[in-house]
Structure 1
Amino acid sequence: MPSRSTRPVAPLDDDDYPAYTMGRAAEMLGATPAFLRALGEHRLITPLRSEGGHRRYSRYQLRIAARARELVDQGTPVEAACRIVILEDQLEEAQRMNEELRNQRRTAQQRSTA
């Protein structure tokens, strides 16, 4: 999934900074490393790699993984859960873009009537 950050921030404040090891990420989610690997195989999250080749996860990726875990816990197969989360994320982004366009149109209309 693409990174959402558009402005530079300190690593501790950056939702996209890969701060968590696989073990820590799995622990935080109450999941196994195999679950995180499965999410990667289904292209839901793509962890960055440390210089030593170890997977590192960001807070944003952990939120995405937590949503997938929630669906899996409800009985949804991992592959389907990944697809659902991807579609939810795409919908949220499309809605955000539509709102921005609406705001731009309103601003343009206000300028033309002023």
Structure 2
Amino acid sequence: MISGQEPEAAHFDDEDYPAYTMGRAAEMLGTTPGFLRSLDEAKLIQPQRSEGGHRRYSRYQLRLAARARELVDQGTALDAACRIIALEDQLAEALRLNAELREQNQ
């Protein structure tokens, strides 16, 4: 381990840790790197960059990309799919916050 860096195993449960290269992410999703780049251009997912400038994706971002692929495969235009996913994500966050507030008020 390089001094000052955490071991990779420390990030196994971190949904936001950028663990996947573009090639691996595309392979896992059954899509192309070009599709992932289009999601970046559409600002649906903005992967982190490695020191060498390569895109790195988190599990959370892969879930969004998988949902985008599902919608696009069903005939939804990419820009519309991105809007749908953003709204779904906002709704899920609002429901999570409401559940937390209900727990605190009981």
> 1:46-105 deviations in whole A, cap 9, x for unaligned?
100000000000111101100110000000011111110110000000011111111112
Alpha-carbon offset, residue 43 of structure 1: 1.1
Q: Over aligned residues, Cα RMSD in angstroms?
A: 1.2
The 2-side partners of 1:57 and 1:19 are apart by 6
1:90 has 2:52 as partner? no
Unaligned runs of 5+ in 2: 1-8
- After the TM superposition, list the runs of 4 or more consecutive aligned residues in structure 1 that deviate by more than 2 angstroms: none
User: Of the two, which has the highest radius of gyration?
Assistant: 1
The 2-side partners of 1:100 and 1:62 are apart by 26
Percentage of matched positions with identical amino acids: 74
Count residues with an aligned counterpart.
Answer: 98
SS in 2 for 1:56: strand
Per the normalisation by structure 1, the TM-score is: 0.82
Amino acid of the structure 1 residue aligned with 2:62: L
Per the normalisation by structure 2, the TM-score is: 0.88
Could you tell me which residue of structure 1 aligns to residue 74 of structure 2? 74
Amino acid of the structure 2 residue aligned with 1:33: P
The 2-side partners of 1:58 and 1:86 are apart by 17
The 2-side partners of 1:93 and 1:13 are apart by 19
